[in-house]
A and B are shown apart, each in its own frame.
Chain A
Amino acid sequence: MEFEGYAAGEEPTLSDLYPTVTYLCRSNPALLAEYEGALARARKFRKKFVDPNSLEIDRRVMTDPTYVAHEVLKAAGDYQLFSMLIPRTLGGLGYSLLSLIIVIEEIGAGCIGLANLIGVNGLAIATIASTGEMGILARVGRRIRDGELSGRPHILSTAITEPSAGTDVEDPDLLRTARYFSEATPVKGGYRLNGRKVFISNGSIAQTHVIILPTDKRHPVETYAAFIVESGTPGFSIGRVEHKMGQKACPAAELIFEDCFVPAKDRAGLKMDAHRTLELTLGFTRGCVGLFGASVARAAFEKALRYARRTRHEGELLIDQQWAQFRLTDMYRNAQMARTMALEAILSNQVMGLYSAISGVESLDALVKRIPEQLFRQVPVAKLLSLKQARFAGAQKLSDIPSPAVERASCAGATAKYTGSDLGMINAHMAVELMGTDGLRHDAGAEKIFRDAKLLQIYEGTNQLNRIDVFKKSFGRTDMIAAAAAGGL
């Protein structure tokens, strides 16, 4: 297979980006058409709404961090980008995960801040799904779809990080010693939330928030829970909107809870296993951050490639100079490597992790696809799934996934996360350097990629934490260490 897009100086084709997938799909034209359609749709969205606006949005937020590109959010709704991940039975469009990967990477290659603005919903969806609460997911999924249809996108946020605890509260093993500031105290009919959450992506614009809190902060592991809080709930307010270095299109805000009452029905999960919920959620979302890393690595590479093709140094085009060729080749390799790792992570979550738990829902999807959406929307899915039996079934489905499978999927997510984001950062460094003064100017775009890339190494657990996580889940497992000490390995 030849390189198509890059060779022509145009955008890469599906086979440039995912050659093996394209090759394997040659006997399944319908699947190939879905993937190519996903890329075409994402690229159309990117060309129309991301590429022409991303620098201007970035610059505008520099002086006003509360500014949000609502027109891009609305367009994302028009392109049905919010509901594509949610199974059809739960109110979404039920696209395959691979289509999602293709769409995320394409938008992220245009602007990772805008990709995050649109993609943050995925973290909340994954968190709710990890609790097994398909009733709540169906309720939220329906709102997301309604938002798309009405032109008023329904935005979600997920709040885990606390002022004095970031990495700790995102690691099952560190949870026990984490310095929790906030708490959800059980009261009659529900819970009373008090405390603060910080750096919450889309926190200032979301209508629905998924708040992770212990019901007893002295025992966070045993009392870990997720609460659904709607904006406007008494006792809930938005604090400071942060001035970030990059990814400015996606606001990060502080959420404040002062005796905020949440009814018991909005606590997700009948009985939540903190360890498993975190593993399931982060296994998936870290894979997505790894994919963001691939997007950034690709964006930096493509920016540098365009520059090298048109810029001369000492009379010779940079692309014809060997040192630049080596740099560009490394950058191309880095983007490929990040993408491959992310692909592995997200697919492993489909077969072994979070998305294997909703496979039952997916099979229902096949049936639902035959029902016109207008008709199906009249079925009270959320209510049915909120019945006690359905809630138990959802929780059971999650606990049926074998622990080693969950750990493997989670390990793949962490590996992809730190690999992709490190490679994205490396490529961003190289692009700025290769482009000289053009690399330093905002209007040329590379410096924005540089600023944006850094956050990927920090959120969803710092890359240092992710390395520890990979160690503990692979060759550094406690049982392996014990076996080695006993001379078994």
Chain B
Amino acid sequence: MRPVVDEDLRMIQESVARISEREISRDLDALNHYPDMGDPSGMIAAMRELGLFELASATGEDSSFRTLGIILETLAETAAAPAALLLAHSVASWVARETGFQDSGGLQGCAIYTEAGHTDGNIVLSKRPEGYTLNGTCRFVVNAGIADSLLLLACSEENPSEHFLVLVDASSEGLRTGKPLLTLGMRGCPVADIEFRDVKISPQGCVPGGIEMLHQTWRRFRGPVAAIAAGITGASLRTATGYAQERYQGGKQIIDHQQVRAMLAEMLADYQACCEAADRLSENSLPVESIAASLFIRAKESAARATTDGVQLLGGYGYMEDYGQERRMRDAKQAQCLLGRCDILRQQQLAGWLASEAAL
């Protein structure tokens, strides 16, 4: 765990660490094979008991993003799956509150592995005399199957370039959740494709201007995502360092091999990049948008790179499930996709930077 100065935050951090150690880590082996084995309900119950969903729903002010970041980072040090689950709930809750949707108070889900505004599916909202209907498929929805309501982006049937944010009751007639997907990482956080067939939506359940709202949301949640990356990378770094101090090769501890030291130092630099991004992006204190985007992309890529080396440093043991390094490598790679692909984010980042330069 990273040292936290603020006393309230430290208490939250310690509580999350305790529950992670006590309640979440015991199910990790089974959850590592989810959905074929394991059940996330114990993990969710533990998070609920600690009030994490309420805390995440209340995220709004800059300070609350810092709190969310600490929670996610601490969870991700043990397992990234509950962090992804909480992130999706938090994102959906934030959008719902910002757009004036009525808060159902339950668990929420949404698609958080795509670029803002990219639907990764084809969902059409059609106006009907009595309200709206939703048709199409939304792919890779996080918390699908366990969420009470789902936030998604749909395009208007009348004008396909116009997008609406839609909040759907997960028990709506015509909504069919596919089987939970087996994913690369963050196993235990349910993800599925969802099909909509003439699902009725009330006029209060959808708002226009969806893409702009999502862009704003995605920008705001970069800090919490970087915090997840920091949590995973920190755990991988600590495990690799511990192993390097125990393991002998060529008659000496492997940490005394220069190349091993160099790899650990690289991992440390990557970890620090994640931590810096987590802190500065959560504070929302960066004056220039393109700097924020750079930090975010760098953090996600650093985590994927560092955790790959985290496996390598343990050799054959790193590749086996026992040490958790392989899980961290998979989790970090999956986290790299959170809020969009780095290659596409880079295109958006430069466009933003050029626009800000032109405005000067």
Q: Which residues of A contact B (CB under 8 A)?
A: 59, 62-63, 161, 164-168, 174, 177, 179, 198-199, 242-246, 313-314, 323-324, 327, 425, 429, 432-434, 436-437, 439-443, 447, 450-451, 454-455, 457-459, 462-464, 467
Given A174-B249, A463-B312, does the pair A245, B341 have CB atoms closer than 8 Å? Answer: no
Residues on B with beta carbons closer than 8 Å to the beta carbon of A447: 183-184, 330
- The 8 Å CB contact of B113, one of A167, A324, A437, is A437
Find out whether the CB atom of A433 lies under 8 angstroms from the CB atom of B343.
yes
Q: Which residue of B lies closest to A242 (CB)?
A: B320
Number of interface residues of B (CB under 8 A): 46
Asked whether B2 is an interface residue with its Cβ less than 8 Å from the other chain, the reply is: no
Complex Cα distance, B334 from A443, in Å, reads 15
Q: Which residues of B contact A324 (CB under 8 A)?
A: 343
Binds A, one of B13-21, B66-74, B124-132, B321-329: B321-329
Say which residue of A165, A167, A436, A458 sits within 8 Å of B319 (CB atoms): A458
CB neighbours (8 Å) of B182 from chain A are 59, 62, 441-443
Main secondary structure, interface of A, reads helix
CB distance A437 to B114 under 8 Å?
Answer: yes
A174 near B250 with CB under 8 A, answer yes
Contact partner, B321, options A244, A432, A441, A443, Cβ 8 Å: A244
Residue of B nearest to A448 (CB): B184
- Which of B184, B247, B249 is within 8 Å of A451, CB to CB? B184
Question: Do A436 and B114 contact each other (CB < 8 Å), given the known contacts A323-B347, A442-B181?
Answer: yes
| B322 pairs with A243, CB closer than 8 A | yes
Name B330's contact: one of A161, A177, A451, A462 (CB within 8 Å).
A451
With contact pairs A437-B139, A450-B333 given, residues A177 and B251 touching in the complex (Cβ less than 8 Å): yes
Tell whether, in the assembled complex, residue A454 and residue B336 are in contact, meaning their CB atoms are under 8 Å apart: no
Contact A443 B181 (CB under 8 A): yes
Q: Does B304 make an interface contact (CB < 8 A)?
A: yes
- Would you call A454 and B315 a contact (CB within 8 A)? no
Whole-angstrom distance between the alpha carbons of A327 and B343 in the complex?
9
- Cβ–Cβ contact A434 & B341, under 8 A: yes
Q: Please judge, given known A-B contacts A436-B114, A436-B120, A464-B259, whether A323 and B343 are in contact too, CB under 8 Å.
A: yes
Chain A nearest CB, measured from B29 CB (Å): 9
Does the CB pair B319–A244 fall under 8 Å? yes
Chain B residues near A457 (CB-CB < 8 A): 312
Residue from B260, B304, B319, B326 within 8 A of A429 (CB atoms) = B304
Complex Cα spacing A63 to B31, Å: 11
Q: Give the 3 A-B residue pairs with the shortest CB-CB distance, closest first.
A: A245-B326, A447-B184, A177-B251
Smallest CB–CB gap between A45 and chain B, Å? 26
Contact B312 A462 (CB under 8 A): yes
Partner-A contacts on B (CB < 8 A): 33, 36-37, 111, 113-114, 118, 120, 139-140, 181-185, 247-251, 259-260, 304, 308, 311-312, 315-316, 318-322, 326, 329-330, 333-334, 336-337, 341-344, 346-347
Q: Are B343 and A62 in contact (CB under 8 A)?
A: no
Cα distance, A440 to B335, chains bound together (Å):
10
Q: How many A-B residue pairs have C-beta atoms within 8 angstroms? Tell me.
A: 127
Q: Which residues of A lie under 8 Å from residue B318 when comparing CB positions? A: 458
Beta-carbon contact of B250 and A177 below 8 Å: yes
Report chain B residues within 8 Å CB of A244: 319-321, 326
**Who on chain B is nearest to A174 by CB?**
B250
State whether A245 touches B315 (Cβ < 8 A).
no
* Known A174-B250, A434-B343, A451-B184; contact A199-B316, beta-carbon cutoff 8 A: yes
Residue contact B330 to A167, C-beta cutoff 8 Å: no
Which B residues lie within 8 Å of A425 (CB)? 308
Once bound together, how far apart are the Cα atoms of A139 and B159, in whole Å?
A: 75
In addition to A323-B344, A458-B316, 4 A-B residue pairs with Cβ atoms within 8 Å of each other are A165-B249, A441-B183, A454-B326, A458-B319
Contacts of B114 in A (CB 8 A): 436-437
A245 to B320: give the CA distance in the assembly, Å. 6
Complex CA gap A325/B322 in Å reads 39
Bound Cα distance A478, B272 (Å):
39
Chain B nearest Cβ from A61, distance in angstroms: 10
Residues of the B chain whose Cβ atoms lie less than 8 Å from the Cβ of A450: 184, 330, 333
Chain B residues positioned under 8 Å from A462 (CB to CB):
312, 315
What A residues does B346 contact at CB under 8 A?
A: 323
**What would 28 A/B residue contacts be, using CB atoms closer than 8 Å?**
A59-B182, A62-B33, A164-B247, A166-B315, A167-B315, A177-B251, A198-B316, A242-B320, A244-B319, A244-B320, A245-B326, A246-B319, A434-B343, A436-B120, A437-B139, A437-B140, A439-B184, A439-B337, A440-B183, A447-B183, A454-B329, A455-B319, A458-B311, A458-B318, A462-B312, A462-B315, A463-B312, A464-B312
- Closest B residue to A326 by beta carbon equals B343
Residues of A close to B330: CB separation below 8 A: 245, 447, 450-451
In the complex, chain A residues whose CB is within 8 Å of the CB of B336 = 433
A434-B343, A440-B113 known; A454+B337 contact, CB < 8 A: no
Chain A residue with minimal CB distance to B320? A242
Cβ of A314: which chain B residues have Cβ within 8 Å of it?
Answer: 118
| Residue ID in chain B nearest A327 by CB atoms | B343
- A327 to B347: give the CA distance in the assembly, Å: 14
Shortest Cβ distance from B275 into chain A, in angstroms?
Answer: 22
Q: In the complex, what residues of A have CB within 8 A of residue B315's CB?
A: 166-167, 458, 462
> Is the pair B33, A63 in contact by a Cβ cutoff of 8 Å?
yes
